[in-house]
């Protein structure tokens, strides 16, 4: 019974991590252009402030 509960816990954790990775990939793909613009603006502000 202990082993079964541990196996279920590990499987649940793995499943949750897998879902989080998939969601993260979806968000990154959707916001790829916005993220690139943000980084460019951030770097530009840093360069101009120096």
Q: What is the pLDDT of residues 1-50, one digit of tens each?
A: 788 999 999 999 999 999 999 998 888 787 766 666 766 676 666 555 54
> Is the separation of the CB atoms in 28 and 35 below 8 Å?
yes
Could you tell me the pTM of the whole model? 0.50
* Cα four-point dihedral sign 38, 41, 47, 50: negative
Instruction: Please state the domain extents for the chain.
Output: 2-49
Tabulate helix, strand, coil % of the chain (nearest 5): 95, 0, 5
């Amino acid at each position: 019974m202990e082993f079964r509960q541990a196996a279920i816990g590990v499987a649940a954790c793995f499943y949750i991590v897998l879902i989080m990775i998939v969601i993260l990939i979806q968000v990154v793909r959707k916001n790829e252009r916005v993220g690139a613009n943000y980084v460019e603006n951030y770097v530009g502000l840093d360069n101009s402030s120096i």
